[in-house]
Amino acid sequence: MKVCLSSNGNSSDSIMDPRFGRAAYFAIADTDTMMFEIIENSAAASGGGAGITSAQLMIDRGVKAVITGNVGPNAMNVLKAAEIDIYRGSAVSIKENLDNFNKRMLEKIDATVPEHHGMQGGQK
């Protein structure tokens, strides 16, 4: 199964980025082989629509699950319509988050964060 993890760096040892649409990188992992493909998120610096663009990229890549911190309402709608499951990761490496996913230790996300508030909650 292909799983996407939002990442702040370009290696499997990078820490998960808590934002989905504006994550610096995406790690596309194959849960069978545990191989990673790291791609730069070209939508991260866009003026608007980053979540929708990022969600469409996941659909195009054949991803079946996303592991991240927060997902905005527009991205959530696109991912849900494509039947892509969303899970809440934690501030550890993307490799460790994938291990936790495989052990079924991650919480499924069904609610969204308010629009344009991906980094609210104490981070300024």
pLDDT truncated to tens, each residue of the chain (124 aa)?
999 999 999 999 999 999 999 999 999 999 988 899 999 999 888 878 899 999 999 999 999 999 999 999 999 999 999 999 999 999 999 999 999 999 999 999 986 655 544 444 333 3
With contact defined as beta carbons under 8 Å apart, do 89 and 103 qualify?
no
* CA pair distance 21, 42, nearest whole angstrom: 10
Domains and CATH numbers, the chain: 2-108 (3.30.420.130)
Q: Which two tokens stand for residue 12?
A: 């499997």
4: tokens are 């996407």
